[in-house]
Chain A
Amino acid sequence: MSQPPAQVVGMGTVLDHVRTPQEVLRPHVVEFRNVTKTYNAGKTDEFTAIRDVTFVVEDVVEKGEFICVLGPSGCGKSTILRSIAGLEPQHPATSGDVLVLGQPVVGPGSDRGMVFQDYTSFDHRTVLENVTFGLECLHMPRKQRDELGREWIHKMGLNVATDAHKYPHELSGGMRQRVAIARTLILKPRIILMDEPFGALDPLTRLNMQDLLVKLWKEVQATVFFITHSIEEAVFLGDRVYLMSNSPGTILEELKIEPATSSANEMQRQPKFLEAVYYIRDKITKLESNQ
């Protein structure tokens, strides 16, 4: 929309201006600097969820990265995600800096959309009203937001005519998560935080949802943080996988994964895919036995 009037000359393009350093040296999408979160500090039930977590997610031009976070249960994966989202009580961190696009996180906002594992559809709103909730909060006129909402309901593979006016309790778990994803993506967030969004779905629905997510993610080009317990899911979806240690969690290893070339079902049979999965599984098994 706000594209500069670029002139195409053969295989080159003349930009409307000479690029400045500020444009090229873009701040990192997410940056954790020695972040520690301790609950009930100083009391007997003091608990450190994450300790000294440092990592960086670069802004890759024209592509948001898909980052999966894996680790034994209770290792502070959700703490990292909710710190980025700016949700209490994980936010603010006890010490260290959480930066998003170079700015410290001060609170939640629609630039960091979140999809939860629990079904968090607003029960009193129809599917369409759920999907357009964020737009309503932006005071977008009804006609405009309903149009956009229908478009997204269609994109999520739901039937606009029959499903748009249903209430969440009339939907299956997979459909509810589609609604939850649609209402997040409709706001075009820069970062999408997903806390085991497919954890409660049956395996087949899960594979379908993975394919759908990859397709939509390429379209919206956001950076995705994806927490999961499924190593296959992490290796299939992720450009990068962060492996976390036991509580108090730290990031143990960072893996770079080749992008998936085919659908979830096919991809997950290839030997190189399985090799990566077995490597991570051995690591996590070792971690859990040390617990």
Chain B
Amino acid sequence: MNFSFLDRLLRNWLTLRKPVSRLQAIGLGVACILLCLTGWWLITQGAAESRLVGPLTLPSPAETFSKFSELWNDFALTRNVLVTLRRVSIGFALALMVGIPIGVTAGCFPRVHAFLSPLIMIGRNVPLAAVLPLMIFIFGAGEKNKVMFIFVASVAFVISDAARAIMDVSARYIDTAYTLGASRWQTISKVLVPLAAPTIFSACRQMFGLAFGYIMLAESIKIADEVGGLGYQIQIFQRRGFREHIYLIILVIPMVALVIDQVLAWIQRQLFPHLYGGDGMLRSLVRITLIPWESMKSLFFYRTPVSLPSVATEERPK
């Protein structure tokens, strides 16, 4: 009896790729966090000398979290988080603004892609640690070099991912658009880009996470009197031997990343209801803003009244 219950439970839980309810998924995630915390507590409990792992390597949870108010107040955690976030966001937004149009063009026209491919190749494989001092030479100390570092670190990836996404749209959509009378520009703007957009978006969502890692590298160097940011704080704590603070920041960064990722996921769902269901609030918003633009275009550019090719019989002599 007991055995068959366990058997059923295992079968139920270990069915291949069986979807899990949202509540259960969250519960399992929380269980994992609790398990890690317990493990952390177990190996760091007791007096300093009798611990499995010494306090110089890993402080206990209590020691770590007790330093939180110090980090929050004396080391201005929120301000540093916001500064770091601003740098990543501006740099990454620049990379998107430059990279997506170039990537889309490269995806649409293989000749452009062939022309740019050496640059993309170099950009993707450039040693970032070597780029950092260069950025400081070129853009000087302060905000600019950090923003530009994020830009340089991510723009080649944005270009190649956008190009890939456009190239992956099946050729039959282009054929269909052409036989429905779409021009080349209309095929790009109404078919290729919208069909590739979800792929580009999720690629960029992942890349934003990477960019968040790069900024730590850029912030490790602070020359002028700009706000250090999280990366510089880690440097300071390392020099002073504040282990608890470093561990706290390591815990804070994933939290911030999680929040950002959830926001991006929400935007993604609202932009592409044809993939993720829902009411597509942002898509509707985009369309509503496009309607006046479209009417304005028809006022200024296409004055000739639209006429359909007349039905075959109408052309014919009777």
B178: chain A residues within 8 A (beta carbon): 86-87, 107-109
**Is A222 an interface position by the 8 A CB rule?**
yes
Near B by CB (< 8 A), chain A positions 105-155 give: 107-114, 116, 118, 120, 122-125, 133-142, 144
Contact A110 B180 (CB under 8 A): yes
**Whole-angstrom distance from the CB of B275 to the nearest CB of chain A?**
8
Q: Quick one: given A138-B181, A142-B291, are A189 and B309 in contact (CB under 8 Å)?
A: yes
Task: Please report whether the interface of chain A is mostly helix, strand, loop or mixed according to DSSP.
Answer: loop
Contact B309 A112 (CB under 8 A): no
Q: Quick one: given A6-B318, A122-B191, A139-B302, are A134 and B312 in contact (CB under 8 Å)?
A: no
B274: chain A residues within 8 A (beta carbon): 123-124, 167-169
**Is A183 an interface position by the 8 A CB rule?**
yes
**Is A2 an interface position by the 8 A CB rule?**
yes
Which one, A1, A141, A187, contacts B181 given CB within 8 A?
Answer: A187
Contact B173 A109 (CB under 8 A): no
Contact B179 A113 (CB under 8 A): yes
**Is B183 an interface position by the 8 A CB rule?**
yes
**Whole-angstrom distance from the CB of B317 to the nearest CB of chain A?**
4
Contact B180 A133 (CB under 8 A): yes
B175: chain A residues within 8 A (beta carbon): 82, 85, 87, 108, 114, 116, 120
Which one, A109, A138, A220, contacts B311 given CB within 8 A?
Answer: A220
Near B by CB (< 8 A), chain A positions 59-118 give: 61-62, 64, 82, 85-87, 107-114, 116, 118
Return the CB mask of A180-214 against B: 1 if under 8 Å, else 0: 00011001111001000000000000000000000
**Whole-angstrom distance from the CB of B92 to the nearest CB of chain A?**
25
**Is A11 an interface position by the 8 A CB rule?**
no
**Is B273 an interface position by the 8 A CB rule?**
yes
Q: Quick one: given A108-B175, A139-B306, are A124 and B194 in contact (CB under 8 Å)?
A: yes
Contact A138 B308 (CB under 8 A): yes
B194 closest partner in A (C-beta)? A124
**Is B294 an interface position by the 8 A CB rule?**
yes
A169 to B306, CA, bound (A): 31
**Whole-angstrom distance from the CB of A155 to the nearest CB of chain B?**
14
**Is A7 an interface position by the 8 A CB rule?**
no
A168 to B309, CA, bound (A): 27
Contact B176 A2 (CB under 8 A): no
**Whole-angstrom distance from the CB of A181 to the nearest CB of chain B?**
12
Number of chain A interface residues as a range:
35 or more
Contact B194 A137 (CB under 8 A): no
**Whole-angstrom distance from the CB of B177 to the nearest CB of chain A?**
8
Near A by CB (< 8 A), chain B positions 179-223 give: 179-183, 186, 190-191, 194-195, 197
A64, A107, A108, most chain B CB atoms within 10 A: A108
A187 to B179, CA, bound (A): 10
**Is B298 an interface position by the 8 A CB rule?**
yes
Q: Quick one: given A62-B313, A167-B274, are A141 and B306 in contact (CB under 8 Å)?
A: yes
Q: Quick one: given A2-B314, A61-B316, A190-B312, are A134 and B181 in contact (CB under 8 Å)?
A: yes
A164 to B125, CA, bound (A): 48
B176 closest partner in A (C-beta)? A120
Q: Quick one: given A85-B179, A142-B291, A187-B181, are A136 and B306 in contact (CB under 8 Å)?
A: no
Contact A187 B182 (CB under 8 A): no
Which one, B183, B186, B294, B308, contacts A188 given CB within 8 A?
Answer: B308
**Whole-angstrom distance from the CB of B203 to the nearest CB of chain A?**
17
Contact B306 A116 (CB under 8 A): no
**Is B12 an interface position by the 8 A CB rule?**
no
**Whole-angstrom distance from the CB of B283 to the nearest CB of chain A?**
9
**Is A41 an interface position by the 8 A CB rule?**
no
**Is A19 an interface position by the 8 A CB rule?**
yes
Contact B312 A110 (CB under 8 A): no
**Whole-angstrom distance from the CB of A147 to the nearest CB of chain B?**
13
B180: chain A residues within 8 A (beta carbon): 110, 113, 133-134, 137, 183-184, 187
A82 closest partner in B (C-beta)? B175
A122, A134, A141, A221, most chain B CB atoms within 10 A: A122
A1 closest partner in B (C-beta)? B314
A62 closest partner in B (C-beta)? B313
**Whole-angstrom distance from the CB of A99 to the nearest CB of chain B?**
17
Contact B182 A221 (CB under 8 A): no
Near A by CB (< 8 A), chain B positions 124-155 give: none
Contact B179 A188 (CB under 8 A): no
B191: chain A residues within 8 A (beta carbon): 122
A167 to B194, CA, bound (A): 14
Which one, A1, A116, A133, A169, contacts B182 given CB within 8 A?
Answer: A133
Between-chain CB contacts (< 8 Å), 19 pairs? A26-B316, A85-B179, A86-B178, A87-B178, A110-B181, A113-B179, A120-B172, A122-B194, A124-B195, A125-B194, A133-B190, A135-B308, A141-B295, A142-B291, A167-B273, A169-B274, A187-B181, A188-B309, A221-B311
4 tightest Cβ-Cβ pairs between the two chains A and B: A110-B181, A108-B178, A114-B179, A134-B180
A residues with a Cβ closer than 8 A to B are 1-3, 6, 13, 15, 19, 23-24, 26, 61-62, 64, 82, 85-87, 107-114, 116, 118, 120, 122-125, 133-142, 144, 167-169, 183-184, 187-190, 193, 220-222
